[in-house]
Chains A and B, each alone.
Chain A
Amino acid sequence: MNAVGIIFSSINEKSVHELTKQRTMASVPFGCRYRLIDFALSNMVNSGINHVGIVTHYNYQSLMDHIGSGKDWDLARRHGGIKILPPYITAFANASNFLYSTRLEALISIREFISDCKEDIVVLSDCDTVCNLDLSAMIERHIETGAEITLGVKSSYVSTDNTRAVTVVKSDENGKVLDVSDYSGLKSGFEDVYVRLLVVGRKYLEELISDAIAHGYTSFTKDILVRNCKYHDMRAFMLDGYFATIRSLNDYYRCSMDLLDPEIRRSLFGVRNRPVFTKVRNSAPASYDNGAIVRNSLIADGCVIQGTVENSILFRGVKVGKNTHIKNSIIMQDTLTGENVYLNCVITDKNVVIRDGRVLSGHETRPFFIDKGSYV
């Protein structure tokens, strides 16, 4: 595939501040053994893209640790492969002025990476999404229609009490974009929502960046797509299959729990020839002791279960003590729970220790979050 991928690893971190306090959005753990970036990366790799730049901002240590040389995604290449693109700050610039905060500013700071690429096409993607997409179909459509920009669009329900920024795309029956705008918030219903995934010609992207610098634009969506949509030949590409965007802890909780639905699991992990790749950790298989009771749960390798687990997601190396009852919860890597513990609607970050006899409960609409490495 004659395309290079660019992934923004830190976009919208503030919206899930609990999980991104010590890591990038890209390295937020998800679904027992994955990190969010695994989905964006696997989509690219499975579509034949083998050159990917990951734009980082700060706190990207956990991300670098996860990516390593890129070999788990088969991206440890002499040509192409994976490149982590840290913020570009010269010795002479004032760092606080220079650290980008939007996608467009990030693209400006990696201009050189983009112009050094050999590929004709660039795929831009966020990594706060959980999906398994065939990007090659989208790229083929982009080439076929001769569009300047092709936007990934998903029909989603938006409601008037939705406070977050949603970009709505209006297009004709051929997919030609007629209008791009922020959701007005006037009427609830299904709209074609831009999912912040786009395909663009590399030369054209370079022009857009130069133009943005000349005009002092700062936002790719607002300044280029919304304001100037009539001047670009843009197409909408409708995505199908499961698609979730994580913009709050509630989203994270809901989307994690979605994995307990076999249909959703199949559309994410059961797609032929499109596996979701992740870093291999070599944990031993999970063991269930006598007296373990597990219902409707996803369990990663390395877990040891002696108690009861219901409607929950257990990451690698979690220990569930005797007489302990975990319900409707998300328990991240290497969390230890003692005996006679009761957890309901709890999200524990990595390496949490819950001592014997503790009772903790949140609610589906407000899961109780426990910080990385805490003792309870």
Chain B
Amino acid sequence: MITKKETVAMLLAGGQGSRLYLLTERIAKPAVPFGGKYRIIDFPLSNCINSGIDTVGVLTQYQPLALNEYIGNGQPWDLDRTYGGVRTLPPYQAQKRADWYKGTANAIYQNMQFIDKFDPDYVVILSGDHIYKMDYAEMIENHKRNGADCTIAVFDVPLSEASRFGIMITDDDMRITEFMEKPKEPKSTKASMGVYVFNKDKLFSYLEADEADENSEKDFGKNIIPAMLKAGEKLYAFEFSGYWKDVGTIDSLWEANMDLLGDRPALPLKDREWRILSRNDALPPHYTGNSAVINNSVITEGCEIYGTVINSVLSAGVVVERGAVVRDSVILGNVTVRTDATVDYSIVDADTVVGKSATVGKELIESKGITLVGGGLTIPDGVSVPDGVICDKAMLDKLSKGVM
């Protein structure tokens, strides 16, 4: 027996996130750490539970191990339920076919059975690539009021950037009249956030039709939405005006982290009404030593700071030794920055050691770009990692031999 759920959320978390390079070498993009103690997927998951949605299917495909382990039984998000709760849904072998998820629409198509079990009226489709705090309940309310078949959340972007997104053109009542996927000459600035509310029956019939179409790319933006528009279904846009950021690139991931800093951060995480939940190890509070200087930074449990930290975000268990300087950087878990080392305008992945007097990156104003240092590396004492590079093991070996 399973009780009916009004809404089931399906979270697309199979993305590789290839533009995050080393950070997604071993983990899927939604599992990428963010903001000291979170991972990207904490945002949509917390949004679900805060919006009263307690049944979430997480579709995994690329490097699912870390993500599966992280989600576990869903307990940190209060999603360990007897009825509903969070389920990870990997691709599976069926009687007549065995397929990877071929596109976003196909991933949902393959899990229609999971959705149907809860007999929902609405299905919310989410992606695990964005940092934002949003009340989906408000959007579903709006969807009901409009009597819509599908509602798409949109976010106002600058016209210059609009060609990177799926753009909606609406009438005065916010009914969508036209949809353009990454248009060269955008006619509107309403960008799709990748958040959809569907009436379940409508969704299922379009998914089935799309699956039968051999020419389809099995994608929501490219196939399902255009097909629904063509058939004259009622599609509405829902405007979202809070903080929203696609963290698909090293630059945007760095920027989103920096948005946590300042007196009035662009992305405030301290409000208790909309708490972002995450799975954490039991670590002691962070310690700030006598020689420490910390300015405009975010620091979390298990850190030990004896050096200087300015405009930076530090994850759990980071050690900054005496005389070391960390500036304008994002340091992931358990990194050690040894005595007199300097890290500037960089993202340093977990478990890396920056040796004594080593330097990583260049000061923000004169830097060519963000330096990305891979995880689990040991930068030898005194070695300099230049600015704007992606430093993996091979590069580090060259640097230590003085070849570069």
Contacts and interface: CB of A to CB of B under 8 A. Distances in A.
Nearest to A275: B282
B287 to A, nearest CB: 5
Interface of A: 31-33, 71-72, 260, 262, 265, 268-269, 275-278, 280, 282-302, 304, 309, 313-314
Contact of B284 (A276, A287, A295, A297): A276
Contact of A296 (B75, B280, B289): B289
Given A285-B299, A285-B300, A280 B280 contact: yes
A292 B295 contact: yes
Given A287-B297, A287-B298, A290-B296, A300 B37 contact: no
A288 B282 contact: no
A322 to B, nearest CB: 10
Contacts of B297: 287-288
B-side interface mostly: loop
Contacts of B263: 289-290
Interface stretch (B13-21, B95-103, B198-206, B268-276): B268-276
B36 interface: yes
B294 A294 contact: yes
Contact of A285 (B37, B262, B295): B37
Contact of A298 (B35, B276, B281, B285): B285
B245 interface: no
B269 A289 contact: no
Contact of B75 (A71, A287, A292, A299): A71
Contacts of A293: 293
A284 B292 contact: no
Contacts of A290: 263, 295-296
Nearest to B262: A289
B288 A296 contact: yes
A284 B290 contact: no
Contact of A284 (B276, B283, B288, B289): B276
B300 A282 contact: no
Given A282-B276, A294-B292, A265 B287 contact: yes
Contacts of B283: 269, 275
Given A32-B285, A33-B285, A275-B281, A299 B290 contact: no
Interface centre among B35, B261, B285, B295 (most CB of A within 10 A): B285
A286 B281 CA distance: 16
Given A269-B283, A275-B282, A285-B314, 14 more contacts: A265-B287, A269-B284, A275-B283, A282-B278, A286-B298, A287-B265, A288-B295, A289-B295, A290-B263, A294-B294, A295-B289, A295-B290, A298-B285, A301-B37
A299 B299 contact: yes
B298 A298 contact: no
A105 to B, nearest CB: 34
B296 A301 contact: no
Contacts of B277: 282
Given A280-B280, A302-B270, A292 B289 contact: no
Nearest to A304: B270
Contact of B261 (A72, A280, A287, A298): A287
Contact of B290 (A280, A289, A296): A296
Nearest to B42: A282
Nearest to A286: B299
A287 B267 CA distance: 13
Nearest to A33: B285
B144 interface: no
Contacts of B120: none
A275 B297 CA distance: 27
Contacts of A294: 288, 292, 294
Contacts of A277: 282
Nearest to B275: A282
10 contacts: A262-B287, A275-B281, A275-B282, A284-B298, A285-B299, A290-B296, A293-B293, A296-B290, A298-B287, A299-B287
Contacts of B292: 294-295
